[in-house]
């Protein structure tokens, strides 16, 4: 029988390895940026075209590579960081993955230019699908430039799985944020389709956060610092009143490497316990320094998950550090048994002696004494009015006429509002309401075969959803102008999301007068949106778009209508009048699909008389 096991060719093995390394353009961005950082670059430029599908180029001013190193960097399992297996547990660098550049070169067109400072000229290598097309001498500045073009050009099936450009760009920006936040001592510049997206100068950590997420972020940050033998914590957490509905501004860095950890995230949530509204998430930007030997960063292909030796200790230290910072900066209530500032002596009185108050008592004072008493002091006794003085209150009542009896028909009396009896008579029964509210959550309505039980929140969502979708589709809306414009602050990523749906928002009734780098100004809102709820509606919209990620095959208008309906619908626990209940029921059954909410959940159930009878058997 012939042998059936054989070694794969290198180009096929590289394409298989690329399945782990490169899921989307953001994966290429991460690998190239980390390589530039390891090359000791002080300025890194990222150029993107078509969200990375056409071009991902990283230019750095690092140490560069020699002719031999430039060629070997595209070989599988070639690395400058590891000499033995023990080195895997002493890693202080990032781009140590041996097959990264080889995998990228297997599924794209790659152009590499690199030069060391001591050399006069550099090297240019062109690779297409693992095949080296050319290697030539080239004039180039010190450092390295890698351009990855036409990603997945030879694997069309993988390319078809990529999302729309706005979605892929958000993933690229996320990776850019993670790398830029971990290294504030390096200047970063990012361009997309020729326009500058970020220009981050070398700065401290707080300035880097503000440069990325907007100037308004500065007032939201609370510093966190703690140093122990096991863990060193530094960074910032956001104030509870600025908590968002998304987890976009949550960053853990372990030894300057971004990680995701649900366990450590729970420690932060525990520190914020009782300070956050339901459904909101606190922001945090925390750097954790631990011994490299106490962690394993090779448990996940993307290196975003880490295994710690002693997670319980880290959890306790992190929770205590955040809780201490919130209390120290008067964010959380604290008990201080050492000193009460209210008992401090004012500065002007610090040299004065205490004076005891003098109390004078008049032993002869008698409040029931009828006659005036003269004495040396200024005191006076009160004369009790004679009992007959009550008659003076009625003096003048008979002056208007000679009749002793008054005409009481002309007099008016104050009275309370008449309250209805809980036991309605037969006349009232004819006009009694046909709906009732149960626990401020459900509406009960009488029907011929039994009764309806309606979820008021889902029902109102359906009504608003169809109304909003109609306005967006026919591009006709009614807007109410605001007396004072509303200015809202967002990060640049959130601003770009709002700009993508700006036209649809305007069709619902929003009027935008200004779109800035980190703020927007609104002068008009839809008639059913209170001015105080504008920020809530837009934050919910941003959260839904980031979580559900609608692509080109998904209707952005449908997403917008669903999100706004969810924000504006009457919530569970809100009391409704009889008129409001009936209007909601009538509006629901005037919809095209009254049976389900916009998220395909039932809006009502029916109970027939037979089903009710069976309950009493």
Percentage of the chain exceeding pLDDT 70:
78
Query: Which CATH number fits the domain that encloses residue 37?
Result: 3.30.565.10
Same domain, 50 and 111: yes
Confidence label for 422 from pLDDT (cuts 50, 70 and 90): very low
Domain boundary among 177, 200, 223: 200
Q: Is pLDDT larger for residue 18 or for residue 152? A: 152
- Assign 153 to helix, strand or coil: coil
DSSP for residue 145: E
SS (H, E, C) 281-298: ECCEEEEEECCHHHEECC
pLDDT at residue 562 is higher than 70: yes
* One domain, residues 170 and 129: yes
In this structure, the answer to whether residues 452 and 566 fall within a common structural domain is yes
Residues 131 and 182 in one domain: yes
pLDDT at 423 (0 to 100): 43
Among candidate residues 328, 358, 388, the one where a domain is terminated? 328
The reply to whether 107 and 22 lie within a common domain is yes
Query: Structure tokens of 598?
Result: 């916009």
How much of the chain exceeds pLDDT 90, in percent? 20
**Distance in angstroms (rounded) separating the CA atoms of residues 241 and 275:** 8
* 235/168 same-domain check: no
Query: Domain range spanning residue 16?
Result: 10-200
| Number of other CB atoms surrounding residue 556 within 10 Å | 18
No. of helices (H) and no. of strands (E), the chain = 17, 22
What is the band of 179 on the pLDDT scale with cuts at 50, 70, 90?
Answer: very high
Q: What is the pLDDT of residues 405-415, one digit of tens each?
A: 555 555 555 55
- Mean pLDDT of the chain, nearest integer: 80
- The answer as to whether 384 is a domain residue is no
pLDDT of res. 201:
93
CA angle 297/87/12 to nearest 5° reads: 70
Based on the domain organization, do 106 and 189 belong to the same domain? yes
Range with lowest mean pLDDT among 33-42, 114-123, 478-487: 478-487
Beta bridge partners of 138: 122
Over residues 342-364, the pLDDT tens digits come to 666 666 666 777 778 888 888 88
Specify whether 185 is located in the same domain as 127.
yes
pLDDT of residue 124: 93
The total of structural domains in the chain comes to 3
Given this model, what pLDDT does residue 551 score? 47
In a domain, 343, yes or no: no
Which pLDDT band, with edges at 50, 70 and 90, does 473 fall under? confident
Note whether 448 and 503 are same-domain residues. Answer: yes
- Residue-wise pLDDT for 363-387, tens only, equals 888 877 765 544 444 455 455 555 5
The answer to whether residues 257 and 189 belong to one domain is no
Please give the full DSSP string across 587-606, using - where no structure is assigned.
HHTTSS-TTB-TTS-BSEEE
Q: Is residue 373 part of a domain?
A: no
For residues 260 and 314, membership in a common domain is answered with: yes
Question: Which of 282, 301, 328 is the endpoint of a domain?
Answer: 328
Task: Kindly give the residue spans of alpha helices, DSSP state H, lying in 492-601.
Answer: 492-500, 502-508, 534-548, 556-568, 578-588
Per-position DSSP letters for 228-254, written without gaps between them:
-SS-EEEEEEE-GGG-BSSSTTEEEEE
Residue 216 has pLDDT above 50, yes or no: yes
pLDDT at 552 (0 to 100): 40
| Residue 299, pLDDT score | 61
142 and 233 inside one domain: no
Look at residue 581 and tell me if it is in a domain: yes
Q: What is the mean pLDDT of residues 457-482?
A: 83
Which pLDDT belongs to residue 556?
A: 67
For every residue of 346-415, which 3-state class applies, written as one string?
A: CHHHCCCCCCCCCCCCCCCCCCCCCCCCCCCCCCCCCCCCCHHHHHHHHCCCCCCCCCCCCCHHHCCCCC
Phi, psi of 263, rounded to the nearest 5 degrees: -70, -50
């Amino acid at each position: 029988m012939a042998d059936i096991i054989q070694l794969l060719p290198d180009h096929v093995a590289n394409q298989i390895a690329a399945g782990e390394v490169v899921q989307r353009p953001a994966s290429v961005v991460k690998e190239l940026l980390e390589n530039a950082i390891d090359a000791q670059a002080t300025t890194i430029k990222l150029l993107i075209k078509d969200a990375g599908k056409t071009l991902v180029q990283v230019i750095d001013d690092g140490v560069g590579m020699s002719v031999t190193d430039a060629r070997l960097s595209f070989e599988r399992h070639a690395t400058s960081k590891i000499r033995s297996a023990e080195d895997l547990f002493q890693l202080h660098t990032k781009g140590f993955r041996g097959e990264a550049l080889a995998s990228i070169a297997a599924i794209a067109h790659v152009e590499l230019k690199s030069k060391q400072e001591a050399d006069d000229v550099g090297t240019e290598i062109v690779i297409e699908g693992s095949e080296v097309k050319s290697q030539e001498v080239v004039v180039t500045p010190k450092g390295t430039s890698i351009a990855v073009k036409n990603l997945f050009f030879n694997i069309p099936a993988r390319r078809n799985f990529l999302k729309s450009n706005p979605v892929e760009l958000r993933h690229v920006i996320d990776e850019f944020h993670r790398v830029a936040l971990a290294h504030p001592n390096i200047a970063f510049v990012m361009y997309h389709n020729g326009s500058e997206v970020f220009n981050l100068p070398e700065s401290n950590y707080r300035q880097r956060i503000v440069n990325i997420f907007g100037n308004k972020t500065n007032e939201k940050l609370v510093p966190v610092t703690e140093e122990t033998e096991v863990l060193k914590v530094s960074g910032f957490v956001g104030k509870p009143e600025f908590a968002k509905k998304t987890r976009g501004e949550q960053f853990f860095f372990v030894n300057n490497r971004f990680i995701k950890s649900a366990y450590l995230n729970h420690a932060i949530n525990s520190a914020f316990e009782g300070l956050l509204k339901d459904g909101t998430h606190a922001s945090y930007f925390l750097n954790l320094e631990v011994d490299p030997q106490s962690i394993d960063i090779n448990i996940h292909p993307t290196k975003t998950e880490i295994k710690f030796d002693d997670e319980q200790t880290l959890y306790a230290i992190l929770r205590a550090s955040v809780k201490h910072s919130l209390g120290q900066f008067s964010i959380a209530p604290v008990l201080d048994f050492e000193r009460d500032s209210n008992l401090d002596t004012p500065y002007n009185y610090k040299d004065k002696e205490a004076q005891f108050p003098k109390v004078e008592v008049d032993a002869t004072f008698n409040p029931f004494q009828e006659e005036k008493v003269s004495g040396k002091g200024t005191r006076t006794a009160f004369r009790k009015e004679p009992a007959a003085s009550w008659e003076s209150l009625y003096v003048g009542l008979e002056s208007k006429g000679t009749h002793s009896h008054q005409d009481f028909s002309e007099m008016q009396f104050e009275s309370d509002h008449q309250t209805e009896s809980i036991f309605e008579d037969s006349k009232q029964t004819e006009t009694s309401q046909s709906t009732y509210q149960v626990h401020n959550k459900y509406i009960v309505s009488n029907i011929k075969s039994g009764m309806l039980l309606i979820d008021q929140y889902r029902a109102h969502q359906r009504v608003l959803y169809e109304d909003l979708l109609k306005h967006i589709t026919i591009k006709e809306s009614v807007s109410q102008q605001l007396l004072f414009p509303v200015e809202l602050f967002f990060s640049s990523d959130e601003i770009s999301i709002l700009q993508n749906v700006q036209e649809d928002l305007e069709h619902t009734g929003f009027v935008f007068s200004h779109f800035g780098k980190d703020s927007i100004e609104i002068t008009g809102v839809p008639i059913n949106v209170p001015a105080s709820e504008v920020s809530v509606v837009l934050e919910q919209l941003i959260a839904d778009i980031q979580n559900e990620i609608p692509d080109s095959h998904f209707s952005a208008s449908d997403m917008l209508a669903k999100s706004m309906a969810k924000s504006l619908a009457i919530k569970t626990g809100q009391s409704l009048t009889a008129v409001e209940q009936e209007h909601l029921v009538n509006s629901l059954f005037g919809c095209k699909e009254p049976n389900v909410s916009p998220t395909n959940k039932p809006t009502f159930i029916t109970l027939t008389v037979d089903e009710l009878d069976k309950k009493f058997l």
